[in-house]
Amino acid sequence: MYEVELKVRADHGGVRERLGEADAERERAVRQVDTYYDAPDRSFAETDEALRIRRQTPLEGGGETVELTYKGPKVDDASKTREEHETGVADGDAAAAVLRGLGYEAAATVRKERERYAVGEDHVTLDRVAGLDTFVEVETEVERGSAVPAARDRLTDLLERLGLDPATGIRTSYLGLLLEDSRE
């Protein structure tokens, strides 16, 4: 599975209006705490990979869910497209203990609030990331790498429909942006 994603820094006000015009369906609003891990045998920052435990809580009530995710290196120079494998876990603390037991160390934590909308088969996410700013992500999933270019083109069109400039896209992850800010 490939996650095809484009991300820009943007104010959410105008985007919300355009989402209404695009007949977007609001799916959910959540708070996410993502803990990223580094491997004992290589640096994921150097290999452009990511391993995380995500704890997610709905803003409108409800219980926490936890997911374990591996993201491979980016597959193109025009987006944040990566091969991705994700699974739910019943106990986030136990999953973290398994990773620590295997020699993985927590590297950093990213905290954000997200509103997610569906526009056809694609998704638009309005993110407010602690310590950074507000962002808009458009994304979809495809089964095969050969489907990535068409999906990326469709997402570029969606960004434009939302009044955003795809040329201002950011390929750096939130983790990378936070780490860059901490070095400055």
Confidence (pLDDT) at 66? 98
**Which domains does the chain carry?**
2-183 (2.40.320.10)
Query: Above 80 in pLDDT, residue 183?
Result: no
Confidence (pLDDT) at 184? 60
Model confidence band, residue 133 (pLDDT cutoffs 50, 70, 90): very high
**C-beta separation of 158 from 166 below 8 A:** no
Confidence (pLDDT) at 181? 72
pLDDT digits (tens, 9 = 90+) for 69-114: 999 999 888 888 899 999 999 999 999 999 999 999 999 999 999 9
**Is 36 considered catalytic here?**
yes
Confidence (pLDDT) at 78? 82
Per-residue exposure over 145-180, b if at least 16 CB sit within 10 Å of its own CB, e if not: eeebeebbeebbebbeebebebeebeeebbbbbbbe
Per-chain mean pLDDT for the chain: 94
Query: Above 80 in pLDDT, residue 152?
Result: yes
Model confidence band, residue 127 (pLDDT cutoffs 50, 70, 90): very high
Specify the pTM.
Answer: 0.88
Q: Which of 36, 104, 117, 174 is catalytic?
A: 36
Q: What average pLDDT score do residues 118-128 get?
A: 96
Confidence (pLDDT) at 85? 96
